[in-house]
Structure 1
Amino acid sequence: MQMSIVVLIISMLLFLVLFFGIGFILNMLLRMSWIMAIIYPIVAILIVDKVRFIEYFTNSKAAFGQLGHRFSSLATADILILVSGLAGAIVSGIVIKLLRKNGYQMF
């Protein structure tokens, strides 16, 4: 199924805002500026992969092989959407750093 350009842009914007907001809140509460940028790859794996999380420990070779296959078979639109989510997570860390540097102490 093909995705129109309007749906792609809206999806990218939603992922950017969603992960910026989640990252901003986590950064305020946990006082760790890059927490969402560290957690985001795990979230992306959980979004893309169909394997249960426990199988990465019980059947590692097959689970990671299937993960590599799933990532290599992603469409360009899916990659752009996931990258925009990562960008939102990174921008939230940058914004928190700038706010703390300028004297705003959140929680």
Structure 2
Amino acid sequence: MGNEGDVWQLRRGEELVGEIIVEEGDFPWLSGRFVPTAAFSEVKPLFDRDLALTEGEEWEEWESVVGEINEKLRLVAPAGPVAEFLLHVDGGRAWFRWIDHPVA
């Protein structure tokens, strides 16, 4: 996909929460190594909950958690912030997709 090696940032305001070093892409998903900062510990429970709800197929509550992640955090591509995103973090791995324009 041509994105290998790109570094995406996860931010809360101006604070860096973590970085994703893209290792592979399978449209529309990108995945790679997740490198958290100390600030990630404060939002990690959201990502743990995201994974648990996905595994349990509890989609209504999962949508709420995804909304909270998008409200509290922003995903920044090498070209700049994206409008909305779906990001999963499991230990040192992350996989995500994004859109440039918000969904109405």
> Is the TM-score greater than 0.5?
no
Please identify the structure whose Cα radius of gyration is greater. 1
Higher percent of residues as strand: 2
Taking structure 1 as the reference length, the TM-score comes to 0.31
Q: Which has the higher contact order (CA 8 A, sep 6+)?
A: 1
Higher percent of residues as helix: 1
